[in-house]
Amino acid sequence: MEITKEMIIHDILMARPDSAEILIAHGMGCVGCPSSQMETLEEAALVHGMNLDILMSALNK
C-alpha cells in the first residue's frame, strides 16, 4: 500500500504498524496523540517542521 500525504496518521498506523517507528525516527514523537485521529500526514509534517518529501520516501520504501 502506498502512503500518500492526504492520508490520516491513524489510518497509516492501522494499515502499516511499522510506520510508527519511521514517523518517530523522523521527529513525530506523538503518533498516538488525539490529533493523529484526524490529521493528515501533510498537516502533521507541517506542524512538526518535517520535510514531507523525505518522510514520504521513508514511509514508502
Whether 51 shows a pLDDT value over 90: the answer reads: yes
Average of pLDDT values for 55-59? 96
Taking only the tens place, the pLDDT of each residue in 6-43 is 999 999 999 999 999 999 999 888 778 888 889 999 99
Question: What span, in angstroms and rounded, lies between the C-alpha atoms of 5 and 48?
Answer: 14
Question: What span, in angstroms and rounded, lies between the C-alpha atoms of 29 and 23?
Answer: 7
**Would you state the cell numbers that stand for residue 34, as one nine-digit string?**
488525539
Question: What span, in angstroms and rounded, lies between the C-alpha atoms of 15 and 19?
Answer: 9
Give the global pTM. 0.87
pLDDT value of residue 4? 97
Average of pLDDT values for 39-57? 94
Query: Domain spans of the chain?
Result: 9-59
pLDDT value of residue 33? 83
Residue 40 DSSP class: B
